[in-house]
Homo-oligomer: A and B are copies of this chain.
Amino acid sequence: MDYDWLFAFAVFADHLSFTRAARQLHISQPALHVQVRKLSEAVGRPLYRRSGRGLVLTAEGSRMAAFGREVEERGRAVLEEVRGQALSGPVVLASGQGALLYLLGPAIRRFPRRTWPLRLLAMAGPDAVQAVRDARAHLAVAAIDGPVDDLACARLRSVGQRAVVPSSHRLARRRSLRPADLDGEALVVAPAGSPHRRMLSQLLDGAGCAWTVAVEATGWEPMLHFARLRLGIAVVNDFCPAPRGTVALPLEGAPRVDYQLVERPGLRTRGVDLLRSLIVGIARPT
């Protein structure tokens, strides 16, 4: 296996297009194609396959691309180390929007971005974990359900759920709500398929609630916005502040969700170490 093939394949994996990846690598498209084919032959497995008009990586392809990115970054770091240069690469933090807005603000503000450039990848929680697995990001912060055994995890904070209802709503005087209280209500919810939506429908359906979708929105901010517009009751993590004109009521029975810091073992860098300690130090106490 030639490591040039591996690095070329990692770029191809970023684009999933021979034409564009070849442009970025400053070689011709056929040259890149040959390199990828040779890597695939050396590995002994197909690394990608066609899917409709486009291409997708196989599991083996994802693994090889992650390895390629990792080795390339470590190689750069080692070279800069022996040359006595400062480590130049950016620290990459992947995170769901929620964690970014409500959990990571202080850590990001205190991080010395002059010394170590910081790159933020805002994405859905599961994608953030995948970004770490694919060596696209150094750290990820996300709400994780199942165990992640191939990566290192640290629990940051456990959050519950609150229902955000207009102050004028009949439920607004209550101190907390049970799932059954939402029977018949129109809700502002996350898109179908998302972990939050799954959790919510499981909770309400289990309680025999008949509820309807008022709005599907992605991210806590838009959901709160729509709740404020009285389009429906939003169920959000309890670190979200209630907008003006609404009250946030704890929703009993909702499973607590752990926000975790996820990291690929190996590849210690001072910038990553600092960011990790900032995130753990600031996010944990609460």
A residues sitting closer than 8 Å to B (CB atoms) are 1-4, 43-45, 59-60, 63-64, 67, 71, 74-75, 78-79, 81-83, 265-268
- 12 cross-chain CB contacts under 8 A: A1-B75, A2-B3, A43-B82, A43-B83, A44-B83, A60-B82, A63-B81, A64-B82, A71-B74, A71-B75, A265-B266, A266-B266
Shortest Cβ distance from A264 into B: residue: B266
Contacts of A267 in B (CB 8 A): 265-266
Shortest Cβ distance from A66 into B: residue: B78
Shortest Cβ distance from A83 into B: residue: B44
Shortest Cβ distance from A61 into B: residue: B82
Shortest Cβ distance from A63 into B: residue: B82
Contacts of A60 in B (CB 8 A): 82
Picked from B59, B78, B266, the residue with its CB within 8 Å of the CB of A63 is B78
- Chain A facing B: main interface SS: helix
Contacts of A79 in B (CB 8 A): 1, 43
Cα A169 to Cα B64 with chains together (Å):
67
Contacts of A45 in B (CB 8 A): 82-83
Cα A79 to Cα B60 with chains together (Å):
9
A3-B3, A265-B265, A265-B266 are contacts. A64–B78 as well, Cβ < 8 Å? yes
In contact, B82 and A75 (Cβ under 8 angstroms): no
State the Cβ distance, A63 to closest chain B Cβ, in Å. Answer: 5
Cα A79 to Cα B43 with chains together (Å):
6
Cα A201 to Cα B78 with chains together (Å):
40
Picked from B1, B75, B265, B266, the residue with its CB within 8 Å of the CB of A67 is B75
Contacts of A265 in B (CB 8 A): 265-268
State the Cβ distance, A47 to closest chain B Cβ, in Å. Answer: 9
